[in-house]
Amino acid sequence: MAQVNGPKIYLNLFDNPNLPITETMVNYWIVMVFILFLCVFLTSRMEKIPKGKQAVAEKIVLMIDGLVDQNMGPDFRGYSPYIATLMMSSVFGSLCSLVTLRSVTADLNTTLGWALITFAMITYTKIKYHGFGGYLKGFTEPIIVMAPLNILSEIATPVSMSFRHFGNIAGGFVISTLLLSALSALSSALHLPLPLFQIGIPGVLSLYFDLFSGCIQAFIFSMLTMAYVGSAKE
């Protein structure tokens, strides 16, 4: 019977069970090192006339800047590095499952951490453009009796963002695991010499959930971050 468990715990710092080093943390460090080397590779030996890998890097930068300008406004161009980092971390954090590593976005701690950063950016932007008094006043609009609902709506933003991303990736992981187990049991029940039912179908599902869905969720999460932070100025 298939078992779908959370990330493994490799060790506890200072023998404290509240300070675990998990599989997600290790895999995320691997992803970050990969992204670092990728950035160094794409930006090494740069020339005045871009070509090859430099042209690819500049195309990515221009695309991110365009998305930021379109969804947040030119005043938020300084957020472009963060949006690019968020998008790459999400994409490669999901795609790492293609090389047998557990997806870091299949852990709620990862997506919740990103969502809390977005929430902090939203709050900072509101206070920056409206002042602390204006930020508090916003909870009483359009009428003061709406304050509890406005507060819940504010809290729901990071919660919904984190669960949306986590749910899609974790759901795909669970479905793939259960299907692989069911096909394995079917092959054994029919006494097949080769696990024919485990060839093809799991691979197609893996491509969908890991590649397509992972990239789509990374794009959606980044777009929501830009939309929420950009609208906080208004």
1 by DSSP, 3-state: which? Answer: coil
Q: Are 71 and 226 in contact (CB under 8 A)?
A: yes
DSSP state, residue 17: T
Where would I find the beta strands (DSSP E) of the chain? 9-12, 20-22
pLDDT averaged over 10-residue windows placed end to end, the chain, 234 residues: 65 85 92 93 83 87 93 90 94 85 88 94 93 90 88 91 85 70 69 60 65 86 93 86
Hey, what amino acid is at 3?
Q
Asked whether residue 108 is domain-assigned, the answer is yes
CB atoms within 10 A of CB 87: 21
The total number of structural domains in the chain stands at 1
Residue reference for tokens 């500049």: 58
Asked whether residue 177 is domain-assigned, the answer is yes
Asked whether residue 111 is domain-assigned, the answer is yes
Asked whether residue 83 is domain-assigned, the answer is yes
Asked whether residue 172 is domain-assigned, the answer is yes
Which sign does the torsion angle of CA 21, 22, 27, 28 carry?
Answer: negative
Task: Return the pLDDT at 10.
Answer: 86
Instruction: Please tell me whether the peptide bond between 81 and the residue prior to it is cis, using omega within 30 degrees of 0.
Output: no
Which of 106, 227, 231, 211 has its CA nearest to residue 168? 106
Asked whether residue 217 is domain-assigned, the answer is yes
In order of 97, 130, 145, 225, the CA distances from 21 in angstroms are 19, 41, 45, 28
Task: Return the pLDDT at 196.
Answer: 56
**What does the DSSP assignment read for 109-136?**
HHHHHHHHHHHHHHHHHHHHHHHHHHHH
Asked whether residue 2 is domain-assigned, the answer is no
State the pTM of this model.
Answer: 0.82
Decide: residue 110, CB within 10 A, 0-12 exposed, 13-18 middle, 19+ buried.
buried
Domain that holds residue 46: 9-231
Task: Return the pLDDT at 1.
Answer: 38
Q: How far apart are CA 234 and CA 229, in angstroms?
A: 10
Task: Return the pLDDT at 92.
Answer: 92
